[in-house]
Structure formats: structure tokens, C-alpha cells
Chain A
């Protein structure tokens, strides 16, 4: 069965520090992988996606993620966080013919000034 695990429910980092949010997936076919961000009271905004090709993908707001097939991971990174990055982040997996996206539980990011 397909699943997504985000091991960290809540992460706190200082402004200007680097960030890595973890995502592990289980999917029986070629996965399409996504990271979404949800600011408080808002909908989900797509940060980046991986379909194929270069395993390091760049997204909006200075985020990047690396697909590692051998580890079934798709971790999200940012070299230097800003206070405006405080939000909840969701990893999701799907496929071209899949009927649904499967989401992880989410990681809430808090930024210390």
C-alpha cells in the first residue's frame, strides 16, 4: 500500500539557520513526489515536484528537495530560513494513473527570531 511518513511532527529552527524536513514514502510504481506548504488559515501551495530526471529539484521560495530512490526519501531543504517560512509542510506521493495523492501527516515549522 502506498504511504508517506514525515517523522517530525514539529521542528523549531532559528531564523537564518538551515532546514531539512524528512519524507519517506512507499509506492509500488514510479512515484511522483510533491511538497506542499500551508500557511496558517490558508490552502496548500505547491513548493516543488519530482516526476523524473534530475533527482535534485528546485522549488519556489528558495526550497529544494532531493529524491533518493534507494532510501525511498524525498527530503526538503532550505539553506537559510526566514520568519515567513513558518508554516506546515506536507509531503505527498502519487502517480500518473493514480486516483489519489497520499499525504504525510505534516511537519509544523516554527521559526525563532
Chain B
């Protein structure tokens, strides 16, 4: 049972480039979310989804898009990368209040 799988683990982008961070879960959880982790700020919610076809914004959604076409997948798209988006990104799926996290994607924007 793989749980929550994120790819890639590391990525370097140039300012203005776009990319998609992939997230897949095999636990059939309806609820999925994306967080970013920055030093001294804990984890902040970017976007979340309560089921296929339903997404909503979290605390820090600007510069990111999401879609949820299947229960399993919840990709995060950076439209035009900026240095402020340098961070570690975590995808999570939930059953009830308990969240299960992927291993993270460390993104650097230069």
C-alpha cells in the first residue's frame, strides 16, 4: 500500500516557468489537499478538494491551480513560477480529521 505518492521529489525552475506537481493516493480518500512548508511558518493550506470535480482555495492559493478529475489524483500547477514559491510542498489525503502526507517536493525557483 503506497499511501500518498508525490513526484518529483526535487525540482529547480526558472522564474516564469510553469510546472505540475503530481500527487496520487491509493486509499480511496475523498479529501485531498496541498500545503506548503516554509521555515518558521509551519504548513499552510494552498488548495483542497472534497471529492472528484470539487476544489476550493485555502490560505495561500495565489499562483497555483488545481483540478481533481479522479479520486486518486490531485495535481498542483504553478502557472508562472516566482522565487516566493520556493518551498517544500506536501500533498495529503484525509479520512475524517486524520491526514496522511506524501514525502514532499522541494521546489527552488531561481
Given A44-B90, A94-B97, A96-B96, verify A103-B42 contact (CB < 8 Å).
yes
CB distance A49 to B98 under 8 Å?
Answer: yes
In the complex, number of A-B residue pairs with CB atoms less than 8 Å apart: 53
CB distance B102 to A100 under 8 Å?
Answer: no
B99 interface residue (CB < 8 Å to A):
yes
Given A101-B97, A106-B42, verify A43-B90 contact (CB < 8 Å).
yes
Contact count band on A: 20 to 34
CB < 8 Å: which of A34, A36, A92, A100 contacts B48? A100
> Contacts of B50 on A, CB cut-off 8 Å?
99
**Interface residues in A8-64 (C-beta closer than 8 Å to B):** 9, 32, 34, 36, 42-46, 49, 51
Interface of B is mostly: strand
CB distance B42 to A104 under 8 Å?
Answer: yes
**Interface residues in B69-101 (C-beta closer than 8 Å to A):** 90, 96-101
B67 interface residue (CB < 8 Å to A):
no
CB distance A46 to B98 under 8 Å?
Answer: yes
> Contacts of A49 on B, CB cut-off 8 Å?
98
Bound CA span A4–B45, Å: 14
CB distance B42 to A99 under 8 Å?
Answer: no
CB distance B40 to A90 under 8 Å?
Answer: no
A110 interface residue (CB < 8 Å to B):
no
**Interface residues in A76-92 (C-beta closer than 8 Å to B):** 90, 92
CB distance A98 to B48 under 8 Å?
Answer: no
B110 interface residue (CB < 8 Å to A):
no
Which residue of B is nearest A97, CB measured? B97
> Contacts of A75 on B, CB cut-off 8 Å?
none
Taking Cβ atoms with an 8 Å cutoff, the residues of B that contact A are: 33, 35, 40-45, 48, 50, 56, 58-59, 90, 96-104
